[in-house]
């Protein structure tokens, strides 16, 4: 499966220690703008940014440019900006899956019938595929709860999905 990720989701999965597992199991792509957003964290010494930069250097995450006309059309339709706009634009018309935790981006994906997952879905999938233990999955959800902007009931539902 090809996964096109946005900055927030990549950073959250890096903080949870799961990004490398994800990219080892899936073709992973980011739009150029998303990579630039993430790379800004390197100047601040952010480990997640340095990990993502290494994965790009190792070609485990591919950086791609977005078609300008597609981007323009989607921007007008959904009023998306920056990285989320580019993620949707790259996935538009393809069978790829986007990785985002951004509500506007998720709504645009639904409207355009683009496959999508969020960071919590990744944790559950890695657990169900035997890539991580239940304990590690729960710890990863704790990290996402700390750094992300998830509703309490959503976190609760994902914890229950690990039973």
Tens of pLDDT along the chain (163 residues)? 899 999 999 999 999 999 999 999 999 999 999 999 998 888 787 888 999 999 999 999 999 999 999 999 999 889 888 999 999 999 998 999 999 999 999 999 999 999 999 999 999 999 999 999 999 999 999 999 999 889 999 999 999 999 8
Residue 90: what are its φ and ψ, rounded to 5°? -65, -35
Q: Which residues of 91-119 are buried (b: 16+ CB within 10 A; e: fewer)?
A: bbeeebbbbbbbeebbebbeebebebbbb
What's the maximum distance between 2 C-alpha atoms anywhere in the chain? Answer: 45
Single pTM value for the model: 0.93
């Amino acid at each position: 499966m090809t996964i096109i990720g946005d900055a927030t989701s990549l950073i959250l999965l890096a903080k949870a220690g799961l990004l490398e597992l994800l990219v080892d199991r899936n073709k992973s792509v980011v739009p150029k703008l998303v990579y630039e957003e993430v790379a800004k964290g390197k100047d601040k010494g952010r480990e997640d940014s340095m990990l993502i930069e290494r994965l790009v250097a190792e070609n485990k995450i591919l950086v791609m440019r977005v078609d300008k006309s597609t981007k323009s059309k989607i921007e007008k339709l959904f009023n998306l900006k920056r990285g989320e706009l580019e993620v949707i634009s790259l996935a538009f018309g393809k069978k790829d899956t986007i990785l985002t935790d951004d509500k506007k981006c998720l709504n645009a994906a639904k409207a355009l019938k683009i496959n999508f997952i969020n960071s919590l879905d990744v944790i559950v999938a890695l657990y169900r595929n035997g890539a991580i233990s239940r304990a590690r999955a729960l710890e990863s959800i704790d990290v996402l709860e700390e750094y992300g902007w998830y509703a309490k009931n959503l976190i609760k539902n994902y914890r229950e999905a690990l039973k």
